[in-house]
Amino acid sequence: MTIDTIKPIIITIDGWSSCGKSTMARELASRLGFVYIDSGAMYRAITLHFIRHHIDWTAPQQVSAALKEIELSFRFNTDLGRAQMHLNGENVEYLIRDLSVAERVSEVAAIASVREFAVAQQRRMGQHRGIVMDGRDIGTVVFPDAELKIFMTADNDIRVARRFLELRDKNPDITEADVRSNLETRDYIDSHREVSPLRQAEDAVVLDNSDLTPQQQLDIALAWARERATDK
Ligand code: DC
């Protein structure tokens, strides 16, 4: 694999659930020699901690006390060649993908103090630039000055089918209807919450990957990255 050497810029990738943001962000970062950060994994790990410790997240004091007990880190797994989410030193990369976490994460991610906690860490991770971060508010709130902002979207049925295939491997009892209902609920909460709702930044470029192969979408994003790295 070739690494393109371009100036270290910030690339944000926001969009709806399950439209392939993480896969593309990871590939793009690895082609550019940039750091990749999956911001959704941070909200998922916080949610896992709250579930495990029976935190009532409608109680602000319980939330702020619980956040003080959380240390999040991405640690590189050399066998897999990618970073994995760690919660207080424990590798939770697989646990946080479970439907039990997916069903609650949007509620937790809507809490202002949770977002402040996560956003502060996300900004520190981007202080040297040379980063690709995906999420919902990365181009609008976390890095409003990013050189390249991509808003990803894909047809609803395609997103459900992709996520169903992914989750069915781990959970054979899951139905396509479960997946559809989870995606619809999350998208609704993510785009209607008061704090940092999912929306397209005014200066974002839209990438609809419904009819694109992973290689085609990567090529488009790489071309945009090269262009933005020379522009500014
Ligand atoms: O990208 P994901 O599906 O792993 O994200 C999990 C949840 O976290 C999703 O419902 C929205 C929320 N999220 C968010 O509010 N802001 C982000 N920057 C990333 C994710």
Give residue ranges with CB within 6 A of ligand 1.
Answer: 17, 39-40, 43-44, 105-106, 109, 135-138, 186, 190
- For ligand 1, the distance from its centroid to the CA atom of residue 78, given in whole angstroms, is 26
Give the strand pairing for 131-135 and 90-91: unpaired
Q: What is the structure's pLDDT at 99? A: 86
- Examine residue 198 and state whether it is found in any structural domain, yes or no: yes
Domain count of the chain?
1
Alpha carbon distance 166, 212 (integer Å): 19
- Examine residue 227 and state whether it is found in any structural domain, yes or no: no
Q: What is the structure's pLDDT at 59? A: 98
- Examine residue 232 and state whether it is found in any structural domain, yes or no: no
Q: Whose CA is nearest to atom 16 of ligand 1?
A: 136
- Examine residue 34 and state whether it is found in any structural domain, yes or no: yes
Per-residue pLDDT of the chain (232 residues; tens, 9 = 90+): 666 678 999 999 999 988 999 999 999 999 999 999 999 999 999 999 999 999 999 999 999 999 999 999 999 999 998 999 999 999 999 999 988 999 999 999 999 999 999 999 999 999 999 999 999 999 999 999 999 999 999 999 999 998 899 889 888 999 999 999 999 998 999 999 999 999 999 999 999 999 999 999 999 999 999 999 986 5
Q: Which residues pair with 83 in a beta bridge?
A: 76
- Is residue 207 within 8 A of residue 221, CB to CB? The reply is yes
Q: What is the structure's pLDDT at 199? A: 93
- For ligand 1, the distance from its centroid to the CA atom of residue 227, given in whole angstroms, is 28
**pTM for the whole thing?**
0.93
Q: What is the structure's pLDDT at 230? A: 85
Q: Whose CA is nearest to atom 13 of ligand 1?
A: 40
CA-based nearest residue to 74, from 55, 87, 58: 87
Q: What is the structure's pLDDT at 3? A: 64
Q: Which residues pair with 37 in a beta bridge?
A: 133
Q: What is the structure's pLDDT at 169? A: 86
- For ligand 1, the distance from its centroid to the CA atom of residue 136, given in whole angstroms, is 6
What does the longest C-alpha to C-alpha distance in the chain come to? 50
- Examine residue 126 and state whether it is found in any structural domain, yes or no: yes
Alpha carbon distance 116, 6 (integer Å): 31
- For residue 36, the enclosing domain spans 10-220
Question: Ligand 1 pocket test: which of 16, 105, 125, 187 has the largest number of ligand atoms within 8 Å of its C-beta?
Answer: 105
Q: What is the structure's pLDDT at 4? A: 66
Q: What is the structure's pLDDT at 86? A: 98
CATH of the domain at 49: 3.40.50.300
- Examine residue 44 and state whether it is found in any structural domain, yes or no: yes
Alpha carbon distance 87, 74 (integer Å): 9
Q: What is the structure's pLDDT at 192? A: 95
Alpha carbon distance 109, 48 (integer Å): 12
- Examine residue 3 and state whether it is found in any structural domain, yes or no: no
Q: What is the structure's pLDDT at 232? A: 52
Which element (helix H / strand E) includes 82? strand 82-87
- Examine residue 146 and state whether it is found in any structural domain, yes or no: yes
CA-based nearest residue to 75, from 61, 90, 64, 63: 90
**Which atom of ligand 1 has the smallest separation from the CA of 110?**
15
Q: What is the structure's pLDDT at 28? A: 96
Alpha carbon distance 192, 205 (integer Å): 22
Listed in sequence order, the DSSP H helices in the chain are 21-32, 39-52, 60-68, 99-109, 112-125, 156-170, 176-192, 214-231
Alpha carbon distance 164, 45 (integer Å): 21
Joined together, the tokens standing for residue 98 give: 């479970």
